[in-house]
Structure 1
């Protein structure tokens, strides 16, 4: 009888663990995350490819499901974007360059109002980046964006306006990658 109970218990644990994660390409993303006591669920995810090379996966975590990027961008609710590095071509220098261009594109070249915060944010990516590193940029409702590298907090940038510009890099009208945008919004598989 004990063996049967142990087998059932093990099966329940394995099925629970399988549900708690989602595979995106070769990367496994958690289905749920928690920042500052708020549970967020994976809204959707995708993989960025450049010239046929997969560079990173990106996932959007929200309190409820969204398919409209405008609602996500304008919302003042806690949410997070997670980037998992899957290529050695993604270096911290390249990330800083891509973020800088992304902010410029997202703000149509008018970054003056948040420029100091952009520079502070870019400093968070000064350490070397390796395959399997992951970054989480969690907007905390009414406060700002906490950034984590491999689960460890590396910085905080205040303001909902900063969150808007940051999230617009992937969810704006001219996103860094249409596939990631569609994936994050649950519109593409």
Structure 2
């Protein structure tokens, strides 16, 4: 009888841990940790990107250690990731590329020339059809660069710390894509 009770308690503890290992963000569930290139990153926060009344995607920020300082995160030369789950059929390749253009303009205060070739490469990762449910992982690995994955498949690598700062500035800059999403990513829900 004691073994059965202990087994039940252990099962409940493990089950509760598994439940806490995920985060509900809009209609999306994001994991507590992600691992890229051997780097384990922890969930920092997340939110939903909205435009007008439409929920376009859920986005989560993953860091080596939690932080609520957008500037420090944006300028840190350390591994981190943003996970985007598309939640609307309204997102198309063309709309995503336009949003990326606008995001880099705001993030760099219009000074995109020094990283223009990197931006073009990044935009090419969104050239295939984008569907509701697609997941993009935008990962920065120190000393390697930005790696983009679509549904777990690597699309390419873009080296360069300056590009990383501008890219993460799209969501965490002074003029982010969505202020509520930025606050959510910083853990300020």
The root-mean-square deviation of aligned C-alpha atoms, in Å, is: 1.4
Per the normalisation by structure 1, the TM-score is 0.94
Matched, 1:141 2:136: no
Distance 1:100 1:183 in 2: 23
Match of 2:95, SS state, is helix
Give, in angstroms, the shift of residue 4 of structure 1: 4.7
Q: How far does the alpha carbon of each residue in 1:46-65 deviate from its partner, in whole angstroms, 9 at most, with x for none?
A: 11111111111111100111
Q: Partner of 1:171 in structure 2?
A: 172
Distance 2:15 2:42 in 1: 20
Corresponding pairs, count: 188
Distance 2:145 2:171 in 1: 18
Per the normalisation by structure 2, the TM-score is 0.94
Q: How far does the alpha carbon of each residue in 1:91-144 deviate from its partner, in whole angstroms, 9 at most, with x for none?
A: 121111100111111111111111011101111111111111111111001221
Give, in angstroms, the shift of residue 14 of structure 1: 2.2
Name stretches of at least 5 consecutive residues in structure 2 with no aligned partner.
Answer: none
Matched, 1:120 2:121: yes
Larger displacement relative to structure 2 (148-157 or 8-17): 8-17
Name stretches of at least 5 consecutive residues in structure 1 with no aligned partner.
Answer: none
Moved over 3 A (4+): 1-10
Distance 1:40 1:184 in 2: 14
